Structure 1
Amino acid sequence: MSTETLDFEEQVALQLAQVREELLNRLRYSNVVHDNKLFALLNEHPESDWVAHLRDYSGPNYKELVDKLERLEATQCQFDLGLFGFCSDCEEPIEDTRLEHDVTVQRCQHCESQLKSRAQ
């Protein structure tokens, strides 16, 4: 494993910890009873189950954080499987500049462009 890949992996681990902490703090200190109950629910379950609970029970105020958590967990899985840095569509290496900009990116520039053009 290259030093650069280790740096990316460390970056993902750090971001995961930060997002989880931010979610817990927002839920813990919320004035909304439902948020406090969700905080308790998350504390009863392993972190690997959080996204499912958050998708089911959190409101739109948490969507951005939940989306980020989900992308980071997917990236962590790619590290575990040895697939980090490869495009999920064409399986070619993702450009380093794209990964440096967003370590959770899933596609190379070409495939991302193709996806966006099909969506229009």
Structure 2
Amino acid sequence: MSTPNTRQALSQLEAKLREEIAALPTCGLSEAAHSASLGELIDAMTRLHLADEPIYTRLTRLDAALCQLDLGLYGLCADCEAEIEPERLLCDPTEQRCCGCDDHYRHEHRHELRLNH
């Protein structure tokens, strides 16, 4: 995926996440969801104890992907720095690990992952 296409896909995901956050019941983030930077929005969700929400994880992954894109590191595995398989990035443009490292991560953290679901 080219950089403009990647940026467009991430921007669309950002707009969707902002809408979902604005619609969260009784969290008081509707205004911030539309006007705050991603970092400010992540901080606000942390202060409101929403870090366990799945949308928080999606938001932090989006922020990481955008930062990587800006730094020219997008598409590189966060663990081994190899290229992430293109099909993985097509399925999820916020993917942070290659297939091998993701399998290893899931194996090493299976107890934590089981507790979160």
Instruction: Answer whether TM exceeds 0.5 for this pair.
Output: yes
Q: Give runs of aligned pairs for residues 37-76 of structure 1, distance below 5 A.
A: 38-39=29-30, 42=32, 46-47=36-37, 48-59=39-50, 63-76=53-66
2:7 counterpart of 1:16: no
Q: Quick one: percent identity of the two aligned structures?
A: 30
TM-score w.r.t. the length of structure 1 is: 0.76
SS of 1:53's partner is: helix
2:103 matched residue in structure 1: 113
Gaps of 5+ in 2: 111-117
Identify the structure with the greater helix proportion.
1
SS at match of 1:70: helix
Distance in 1, matches of 2:62 and 2:109, equals 24
Q: How far apart are residue 119 of structure 1 and its match? A: 2.8
CA positional deviation for 1:117: 2.5
Letter in 2 for 1:23: I
Within the alignment, does 1:5 sit opposite 2:3 as a pair? Answer: yes
User: Normalized against structure 2, the TM-score is what?
Assistant: 0.78
Query: What number of residue pairs does the alignment pair up?
Result: 109
Find the aligned partners of 1:19 and 1:100 in 2 and give their Cα distance. Answer: 18
2:70 is aligned with 1:80:
yes
Larger radius of gyration: 1
CA RMSD of aligned residues (A): 2.5
